[in-house]
Chains A and B, each alone.
Chain A
Amino acid sequence: MEVKKINFIYYVQKNLIESVKLPFISITLGLIVGGIIIALSGGDPFAAIKGLIVGGFGSMHAITVTLTRATPIIFAGLSAALAWGSGYSSMGASGQMILGAFTAAITAVSISGPSIVIIIVSLSAGMLAGIIYSLIAAYISAKFEVYLLIVTLMMNYIADNIASYLTTYDFRDPLAVDRLAVQTQKIIDGTLPRIFPRYTLHYGFIIAIACTLLVLFMMKRTSFGYEAKMSGLNPRFADYGGIDSLKTMYLVLMISGALAGLGGACESLGTRFRYVDGMITSGGYAWSGIIASLMASNHPVGVFVSSVFLAGLTTGGGSIELRHGIPSEISDIIEGVLTMFVTAKLVVDFRFGRLRAQKEDGADVV
């Protein structure tokens, strides 16, 4: 028994190191490539990368801005972690967030009552929008054997058009100063309150923490979480064991859609106080969320940490654009590069100082 305990501790340590090693290497490589690009375009890479980190985490202001930005990424990340971890490569978070944000924004301005009621109703409405949109994709994919990835990608474009259409023609803010601004009416009652009065960080962040814990509990402690995990690791094994794969798929994608919808709702209720056309897509939240879940191998707590990191990268990117004149898209490039490395089965061979793929029998990550 004693031996087993020691073994177990060793194993946990090994696992922890294993799971942190790869994201760490990927981040490093991402920063190196980013640095090279900055250098090539005539900037000072070291100052820029330092500026990136300081700009993202260097002050209370920076931290709260980062956490504000991290909030929707955490939701999108949890949404992706649940879906991808269960073997469903859904890219639908973007569309679900758009509809969630839009629905929450118009719900909040069209009902009246105490703010807490408005908040709850609007958030639920946003969540519901996410659920419905996710279930439509799930239905098409399951019923007609269409690759979920393609359906969700196509539906993202459609969602963007739907929200844009409705905002332009049916729910346009009549009071907008800028007549060209495509946005809905400003929410007066029913915005998510700020945590610290002087900073933008709002209660959506607390909801995000709660959701992280909830998803963690669901994935690790419930039989549904077990079934979802097994479906992701080996779908044939799940079928063989009698797990109803259709039910699991609908449930997983439903919860995944709910999280994304809620994320969108928090964004319009907490940050923008309205729906602005393109506010989700231009933020790139959904994609960052997927990267976060990949970096964390779908572990909810890991998703949380990686989301904050990625948000910091973007905040920092904004700050170096102001200070060093380097376009903020550099953080997109760093994100993209680190993502490419994150699923590579890398072994760093220090003796030869070069990377090679780990030799292992075909893992089906798709």
Chain B
Amino acid sequence: MILEMKNIVKVYDRVVANKNVSITLEKGEILAIVGENGAGKSTLMKILYGLERPNSGEIYINGKKQVFRNPSDAMKQGIGMVQQHFMLFDTMTVTENIIYNNEISKGVFLDIDANRKKVRELSKRYMLEVDPDKLVKDCPVGVQQRIEILKILHQNADILIFDEPSSVLTPIEVDELLKTMKRLSNMGKSIILITHKLGEVMEVADRIVVMRDGEVVAEKRREETSIEELSYFMIGRQTTSPVIKDLEPCKEVLSVKNLSKVDESGKKLLGNINISVRGGEIVGIAGVSGNGQSELIKCITGLDTDYTGKIEVCGINVTNKGVGFIRKAGLAHIPEDRYYWGSAKEATIAENVLMGDENTERFSKKGLLNFREIRKHVYRIVENYGVKVSFLAQKMKELSGGNAQKLIVAREIEKKTPFLVACEPTRGIDVGAMEFIHEKLIEKRNNGGGILLISSELSEILKLSDRIYVIYEGRIEHEFTNKNLDSRKLGFLMLGGKTA
């Protein structure tokens, strides 16, 4: 047994993230830890990697008790972690990234040639191909992940933690990654895989630990279990999918024609995009994240006005217009990131709900705010959407992620605009809140609203959309209706595969 974590307890302010969790890991084994968001698996790994300290519990490496105060302590014991968000220096070269903290030097000087050679060797030994002199920012996501893995191997890690490694990868890259993991385990490395994607788990894992609400609820060998059983353990109940009734789509609410965008360095971000959304339909944009979705949203919602092409919202030409104008034309927007774009943490709940409506007749007269109306409106939203708040002057940062997201969704839906852009509407929130938000989106569609849905969760797109566009490297070349959908083909196209 190379690793044992015993009775780990971790309590944040009020939330118990880990209740007496114990896991073990054998040499050369791939252990998968699965669970919903917030099940406590990330916390457990942060403890193992020295980023957090447990309230109680012990960690044994090769039978010896260890205390990790910071990542260096963990690294010294041969633990390495591939983080979900890559930790790379993107304006440096691949070599410079891999050797960090373990540099070969000549005196005080960095010996670039020797380091480069070392990286080449490493890359060859583990069959992870990289170009040592390329800048990291010019490498595709899959290669960046390889760099992360090489970086950890360079530090002589024996226990490799992969935190949601496939969330940013294309299916082919995922296959590649799973092969790499198997290869590494055959070479004697032990691997912990954190994920909620059960398909991948069933492919590579030797053993599977299921976590829910901070506890281990099941531990199975792969041969003894199935996806169905695991998902039952994970969620603890059967999910219901909402009923989508057939609707005749009506008036066009969004029309994008020949939209192109070039960035500062002359790289083409969006190329000739043509899409349209009508009232009464949800249109999904499927694609691996980082293929131009964010740029497309910014252009449509007016956050970026520097593009060529033509955009109409509800029949009004909004090309190169700012957010205020487009919102008046009939746009509402659930943003990609709830704290970066969607709210002000230090502002009160009421102030957060008011955003975008501060100049409407309903809430202000001659520039003076009508607090009675505002309060009434906010109360209604909070009650109808079941947002758990103590009072309206509470600050946004005091809400949990799920509640904050609900509030933002509520704000945008309750604007009752004909057109809604919903980006990652359920990212990182619990299942209950997710289903609730899905219901609300469908309700809006059934009332005749048009929704453009962008999500990196393919399952979400498949569940909600009437029609699906596939985006790849800033281009949209394929369109499906949900009825004639072939999900395998969809996956193929998401990777830029060409149909014969």
Q: Which residues of A contact B (CB under 8 A)?
A: 4, 7-8, 11-12, 221-224, 226-227, 229-230, 233-234, 236-237, 239-244
Contact = CB atoms under 8 A, between A and B. Distances in A.
B346 interface: yes
Contact of B347 (A11, A223, A233, A244): A233
B367 A236 contact: no
21 contacts: A8-B393, A11-B390, A11-B393, A12-B393, A223-B367, A224-B367, A226-B369, A229-B351, A230-B344, A233-B347, A237-B341, A237-B342, A237-B343, A239-B303, A240-B335, A241-B323, A242-B302, A242-B322, A242-B324, A242-B328, A244-B322
Interface in B385-414: 390-391, 393-394
Given A223-B358, A223-B367, A224-B367, A240 B341 contact: yes
A237 B352 CA distance: 9
A189 B323 CA distance: 52
Interface of B: 301-303, 322-328, 333, 335, 340-347, 351, 354-356, 358-359, 363-364, 367-369, 390-391, 393-394
A274 B213 CA distance: 73
B333 A11 contact: no
A237 B364 CA distance: 20
B354 A240 contact: no
Contacts of A221: 368-369
A234 B322 contact: no
Contacts of A236: 340-341
Nearest to B352: A237
Contacts of B354: 226
Given A11-B394, A242-B327, A226 B342 contact: no
Main DSSP-derived SS at the B contact region:
loop
Contacts of A240: 301, 303, 323, 333, 335, 341-342, 355
B344 A234 contact: yes
Nearest to B323: A242
A244 B369 contact: no
A222 B369 contact: yes
A244 B342 contact: no
A229 B347 CA distance: 9
A193 B356 CA distance: 46
A244 B368 CA distance: 18
A165 B391 CA distance: 58
Nearest to B360: A223
Given A221-B369, A226-B369, A241-B355, 20 more contacts: A7-B391, A8-B391, A11-B390, A11-B393, A12-B393, A221-B368, A222-B367, A223-B359, A223-B364, A229-B347, A230-B347, A230-B355, A233-B344, A233-B345, A239-B303, A240-B301, A240-B323, A241-B323, A242-B325, A244-B324
A319 B342 CA distance: 53
Contacts of B341: 236-237, 240
Nearest to B357: A241
Nearest to A234: B344
A64 B239 CA distance: 72
B346 A233 contact: yes
A7 B349 CA distance: 15
A237 B324 contact: no
A234 B340 CA distance: 8
B390 A7 contact: yes
A239 B358 contact: no
A236 B328 CA distance: 19
B393 to A, nearest CB: 6
Most-contacted residue by chain B among A4, A236, A240 (CB, 10 A): A240
B390 A237 contact: no
A12 B369 CA distance: 21
A226 B358 contact: yes
B390 A4 contact: yes
Contacts of B333: 240
Contacts of A4: 390-391
A239 to B, nearest CB: 6
A351 B123 CA distance: 52
A274 B132 CA distance: 70
A224 B343 CA distance: 18
A132 B322 CA distance: 27
A242 to B, nearest CB: 4
A35 B324 CA distance: 54
Contacts of A226: 351, 354, 358, 369
B306 to A, nearest CB: 14
Contacts of A224: 367
A227 B355 CA distance: 8
B428 to A, nearest CB: 15
Nearest to B322: A244
Contacts of B303: 239-240
B374 to A, nearest CB: 10
Contacts of A241: 323, 327, 355-356
Contacts of B323: 239-243
A236 B393 CA distance: 22
A227 B324 contact: no
B356 A242 contact: yes
A230 B367 contact: no
A206 B345 CA distance: 36
A352 to B, nearest CB: 18
